[in-house]
Structure 1
Amino acid sequence: MKNLVLPFLLFLFGCVGIPERVKPVDHFQLERYLGEWFEIARLDHSFERGLSRVSAHYSMRDDGGVRVLNRGYSETKKTWKQAEGKAYFVQGPDIGYLKVSFFGPFYGSYIIFDLDREHYRYALVCGPDKSYLWILSRDPKMQGDLRDALIARAAALGFDTSGLIFVDQQ
């Protein structure tokens, strides 16, 4: 767990802004977003480096926030890494803009800027700047045409999608 949390502190410390040209989704429905999500692709960061089978589980906290449980498997160490955090809305419960913390009072942006509004089956998420990007899916695999369309959407907004790591979910 230490390997996921400690490097993440640099990302979290006071970083709750929104990258230029990125707009959080509106008409967001948290109850539909809760549950299991699989990481399809991500930009590389030390807190996830070398991890496969990465997933996130979102559930309600007693204080009205969101419990975040991130998991990933380290093939080199043959162990699961896990980190638990908490998230809260920044602007309101109908805007896909949250702040998340995995350590104390330090928060980072969690911005949902593209979402399958009909079925909540996929999402594009970023952090406080364009060096953080995740493609998430309810299923461990995503159709190539959908994945390519989400990558193109992120690239059009200025994310360096050439650096995406496609996560092995097997």
Structure 2
Amino acid sequence: MTMSPIFVFVAFIAVCNAQVPHLGKCPDVQVVQNLDVDKYLGDWYEIKKFFFFIEGAETCIRANYSLKGDGHIQVFNRGINPDGSEDNAIGDAYPPDTSVPAKLAVTFNGSPRVPYWIVDTDYVNYSLVWSCTDLVGLVQTDFAWILSRKKTLDTQTVDKLVNKLGSFGINTSSFRDTVQDNCPY
């Protein structure tokens, strides 16, 4: 059995470009209506994320969102590598359609912009974020994060957010806990 060169190419792009590849298109996911960006700004700790084989075993992952002069949002991500060194990345996010401010597009270090959709947040405790990209209409890649204003989040809230994402037909089995113990910040 030989594989189609197009299928191999699409699969290669999915693995290189994204997070968790699946056959088919991205599902329709509802985002926060009338997101208040000012309330969303500030520090968020990563509680869970979809497993991604390229990422290392970083711990202490935290993101800071701040408003830039051009109206975009600066995203400053930091984490600790297994060797103890700090890993930082600075990104730029903005809503391509200003009537839906919870559907952001983000880029880091000149990479192509990818979706960063805020599916749920109460602004003071938790945030559920999802990203999905269709590739040639055959494969989609997605990624998700559960964030908290503190280094921990109660199990009931985490379960509620996982279930909410699952209600859109998203396979949530890729979620992995992010270690937030013994962090220097």
Pairwise TM-score range, normalised by the shorter structure: 0.7 to 0.9
1:101-120 equivalence runs, <5 A: 101-104=107-110, 106-116=112-122, 119-120=123-124
Quote the residue 1:123 is aligned against: 127
Contact 2:32 2:119 in 1 (8 A): yes
2:170 aligned residue (154, 159, 164): 159
Q: Secondary structure at the match of 2:142?
A: coil
Contact 1:57 1:70 in 2 (8 A): yes
Structure 2 residues without counterparts, runs of 5 or longer: 1-15, 20-24, 134-140
2:85 aligned residue (71, 79, 83): 79
1:89 aligns with 2:95: yes
1:139 aligned residue (150, 154, 167): 150
C-alpha distance 113-127 of structure 1, shift in aligned 2 (>3 A): same
CA distance in 2, matches of 1:110, 1:86: 11
- Pairs aligned (count): 154
Structure with the greater alpha carbon radius of gyration? 2
CA distance in 1, matches of 2:81, 2:99: 34
1:64 aligns with 2:71: yes
* Aligned residue identity for 2:152: K
Q: Secondary structure at the match of 2:132?
A: coil
Quote the residue 2:33 is aligned against: 26
C-alpha distance 160-80 of structure 1, shift in aligned 2 (>3 A): same
1:51 aligns with 2:58: yes
* TM-score, normalised via structure 1 length: 0.82
Contact 2:28 2:168 in 1 (8 A): yes
Q: Secondary structure at the match of 1:106?
A: coil
Give the C-alpha shift of residue 94 in structure 1: 5.3
Q: Deviations over 1:87-108 (max 9, x none)?
A: 1112116530111011326211
* TM-score, normalised via structure 2 length: 0.76
Give the C-alpha shift of residue 47 in structure 1: 5.4
